[in-house]
Structure 1
Amino acid sequence: MSPLPAAAAPRRWWRLAAMTVLCALAATGLHASAASASPAVSYTNPLVNQRADAQIYKHTDGYYYFTATVPEYDRIVLRRATTLQGLSSAPETVIWRKHSSGIMGAHIWAPEIHFIDGRWYVYFAAGATNDVWAIRMYVLEGTGANPLTASWTEKGQIRTPWETFSLDASTFVASGVRYLIWAQAEPGIATNTNLYIARLANPWTITGATTRLTIPTLAWETRGYKVAEGPTVIQRNGKLFMTYSASATDANYCLGMLTATAGSNLLSASSWTKSQNPVFASNSATGQWGPGHNSFTVSEDGASDILVYHDRNYRDISGDPLNDPNRRTRLQKLYWNADGTPNFGVPIPDGAHPVRLKSYNFPDRFVRHWEYRARIDTNVTNLADSQFRIVTGLNGGGSVSLESTNFPGYFLRQRSNGEAWVDRNDGTAAFRADASFFQRAGLASSSAVSFESQTYAGRYLRHSNYLLYVQAVTDTVGRADATFVLE
């Protein structure tokens, strides 16, 4: 858990500040949460079972296109839907199958789909029937509005400076230039794969210099195997963030990140800075193991970035992890720190996606727990401290309960003195009642929410001196204190 922040401001000061804000908003006819609130992302994990290395591409036609590695390693599949959750049950189409002999005849891995200059392109890796480990990168080109029914042709192998093990091609555009990034074994370097970047002359041909961006050397990059693979880029806040996967494909698998400034020379390795710790890793509390090979997409309304990745819901694997079929595609919202860097949090538990509760009258503060005490706080870098699943109320009767993300089985509840804590469910009737609330329209704004105690009518979850209580609400400031925006 994160350190306790500086002491809260005196109650009198922030009551006056809140009244000033509310009066100003009333004068303009606006609500504090209306202008900038991003609606809560609501998805259920896992999205698709037995699909690894997943990529989701949102196209201008309003569809999300999904592709991933299948456990048989023998074909490339696509599905589409107008919502992310809809991909879970969308029918799947095989657009290409492995060759019966020769190259592209084995280990069909990690497809990615992109729309470039009016045509569809799928990047993928494949071995050969005479050497399944002769993995190389290949490209398909598709013509037609819908890639599920497009005509596909093979554009051949992407040639790099070395005829060696290479995979996980991805592409992005920065400052008007299209780049290819990929993983490869370089002769003379004792690693399994490193990361590389080059410009593209066309979607299947690199041109000019090839740059090695990083070699796996850190402890978390070299568990089981020395691996840096599966690169992908998200561009925000004047920066490029390149995530990649490291270590063996079991519970050691995790995400690292390189960062470059927009407008810098992306073909210079010195433009990229490596994070010294993984940004996303296995989490025993949430039951998620080996998260990796991610991509990024956006929510349906475009307001939220979405992290797409695979993992398993168990740690121990019998035999080679590549022969275990149970990597699942998952989604979760990607948050952003105050300094403009991404905050991945932890792999969330299976089931409903958690939310954050943003204070209505202090919109830079979120409900979080600190040593189990509930409060509102700014800049919560330990993201999962401020994430809660809104689940069916422990006490039933149409109520809801708020379950901690990083402490599953712990719920936001009122203690006998009215203080709100995140406590472990002890199974008693008293706990079930204390942890159950009715979710109401926000007392200060109908576009937000408030949580009324199921046991004590008229008492609401609210903050006072930045600490959370379950108390009666009797005035304008109290209504604002008891109102939250779901994000």
Structure 2
Amino acid sequence: MSFHNPLIPQRADPCIYRHTDGYYYFTASVPEYDRIELRRAATLEALPAAPTVDIWRAPPSGATSSLIWAPEIHYIDGAWYVYFAAAPSREIVDGLFQHRMYVLRTTAANPLDGPWETLGRVDTGLDSFSLDATSFAHRGQRYYVWAQKDPAITGNSNLYIAPMKTPWQLGATPVMLSKPEFDWEIQGFWVNEGPSVLIRHGKVFITYSASATDERYCMGLLQAPVDADPLDPASWTKSAQPVFGSCAEREVYGPGHNSFTVSADGGTDLIVYHARNYTEIVGDPLWNPDRHTCVQAIDWSADGQPVFGLPQR
């Protein structure tokens, strides 16, 4: 199974979710960082031309008025939820933006119809830069995984996990799963961010992205046995090398901030990610709009490991 990439231009931090109604739902960071946009289509190939709906816009002031990043859509217990990060301004304090994590909800059958309500901020117990939340259910418990700065240690963001009491509240003290430590995780910035979860072949996999958001951006992998306690850091093994990165031969640079979806027949796992097609970025890469949404199939090794290969054009 192959796709012509980029699938959707100028959409970073992409999330594609295939629902039981047969539709693929897509959301991502828009270049203006001022709203949350949603679209759906019966096929992945139809998503680029699908009409978009702005389900939420940043208010003119306040905690969620600026830099709307990395929305993710989830269907949980009969309702739709969107997790996203927002800041009160574009001001950088102590080397970081001031993002915190928030949740929207609608009970509409079609989430494009809304209306959406704001459930507020997700309190992690640590008031610091935080973003890129995802959620997954495993063995009867729902978990929240995200990236956050710990002011007590070196680095921009680490990966954390916590059980959820509700789809918008944590149920226990967070546990740190990973922090930037390898050379490939600390290029430009010390970053572990953009986690995404895939449960296959007796393992729970968490992909994440590392380093600055230019051509050095790449993906790492955490994994734990399905019968292990995901809240125990000792359950997890971390890849010593990146599992997905830039490919100059194919002119695909900085692939990362991924999500996972499946083919229409459910038989093929797909990775959804953003990447650029050039490296000569004028100014700050954050304000460059050309991080494009891409999709490709995942291969699996004989011992049940995901094989991402090279990014495809």
TM above 0.5: yes
Among 55, 67, 71, the residue aligned to 2:31: 71
Q: Please state if 1:114 is matched with 2:114.
A: no
Among 150, 166, 180, the residue aligned to 2:130: 166
CA distance in 2, matches of 1:318, 1:82: 37
Question: Which amino acid counterpart does residue 196 of structure 2 have in structure 1?
Answer: T
**Deviating 4+ runs (over 4 angstroms):** none
- The question of whether the paired residues in 1 share the 8 Å contact of 2:69 and 2:84 is answered with yes
2:98 maps to: 134
Q: Please state if 1:215 is matched with 2:175.
A: no
Q: Please state if 1:204 is matched with 2:168.
A: yes
Question: Which amino acid counterpart does residue 192 of structure 1 have in structure 2?
Answer: N
Q: Please state if 1:53 is matched with 2:13.
A: yes
Question: Which amino acid counterpart does residue 53 of structure 2 have in structure 1?
Answer: T
Distance 1:56 1:107, change over 3 A: same
1:301 maps to: 265
Alignment of 1:4-15 (within 5 A): none
- How high is the TM-score relative to the length of structure 1? 0.63
CA distance in 1, matches of 2:200, 2:175: 23
SS in 1 for 2:171: strand
- Deviation, 1:209, is 2.5
CA distance in 2, matches of 1:111, 1:142: 15
Q: Please state if 1:318 is matched with 2:278.
A: no
CA distance in 1, matches of 2:80, 2:49: 23
CA distance in 1, matches of 2:278, 2:234: 38
CA distance in 2, matches of 1:293, 1:130: 21
- The question of whether the paired residues in 2 share the 8 Å contact of 1:76 and 1:94 is answered with yes
1:397 maps to: none
CA distance in 2, matches of 1:101, 1:303: 46
Question: Which amino acid counterpart does residue 124 of structure 1 have in structure 2?
Answer: F
CA distance in 1, matches of 2:49, 2:269: 22
Among 147, 164, 177, the residue aligned to 2:111: 147
Which of the pair has more CA radius of gyration?
Answer: 1
Alignment of 1:218-237 (within 5 A): 218-237=182-201
Q: Please state if 1:338 is matched with 2:302.
A: yes
- The question of whether the paired residues in 1 share the 8 Å contact of 2:34 and 2:67 is answered with yes
CA distance in 2, matches of 1:263, 1:104: 38
CA distance in 2, matches of 1:43, 1:232: 21
CA distance in 2, matches of 1:117, 1:261: 26
Alignment of 1:22-421 (within 5 A): 41-129=1-89, 131=91, 133-349=97-313
CA distance in 1, matches of 2:228, 2:59: 41
- Deviation, 1:130, is 7.7
- The question of whether the paired residues in 1 share the 8 Å contact of 2:70 and 2:84 is answered with yes
- How high is the TM-score relative to the length of structure 2? 0.97
- Deviation, 1:269, is 0.7
SS in 2 for 1:121: strand
Question: Which amino acid counterpart does residue 197 of structure 2 have in structure 1?
Answer: V
CA distance in 2, matches of 1:336, 1:52: 26
CA distance in 1, matches of 2:110, 2:91: 34
CA distance in 1, matches of 2:89, 2:217: 28
Question: Which amino acid counterpart does residue 109 of structure 1 have in structure 2?
Answer: W
Question: Which amino acid counterpart does residue 146 of structure 1 have in structure 2?
Answer: N
Give aligned pairs, total: 309
Query: Which deviates further from its counterpart, 55-64 or 129-138?
Result: 129-138
Greater relative contact order, per chain length (Cα 8 Å cut-off, separation 6+): 2
CA distance in 2, matches of 1:44, 1:344: 16
Question: Which amino acid counterpart does residue 74 of structure 1 have in structure 2?
Answer: D
CA distance in 2, matches of 1:311, 1:305: 19
- Deviation, 1:131, is 4.3
- Deviation, 1:129, is 3.3
Unaligned runs of at least 5 residues, structure 2: none
SS in 2 for 1:104: coil
- Deviation, 1:42, is 4.0
| Partner deviation per Cα, 1:324-349 (whole Å, 9 max, x = no partner) | 00000000000100110000001012
- Deviation, 1:43, is 2.4
- The question of whether the paired residues in 2 share the 8 Å contact of 1:170 and 1:232 is answered with yes
- The question of whether the paired residues in 2 share the 8 Å contact of 1:107 and 1:127 is answered with yes
- The question of whether the paired residues in 2 share the 8 Å contact of 1:109 and 1:126 is answered with yes
Identity percentage over the alignment?
54
CA distance in 1, matches of 2:118, 2:136: 21
| Partner deviation per Cα, 1:386-408 (whole Å, 9 max, x = no partner) | xxxxxxxxxxxxxxxxxxxxxxx
CA distance in 2, matches of 1:226, 1:198: 22
- Deviation, 1:44, is 1.6
CA distance in 2, matches of 1:43, 1:84: 9
CA distance in 2, matches of 1:218, 1:143: 43
- The question of whether the paired residues in 2 share the 8 Å contact of 1:57 and 1:297 is answered with yes
CA distance in 1, matches of 2:100, 2:129: 6
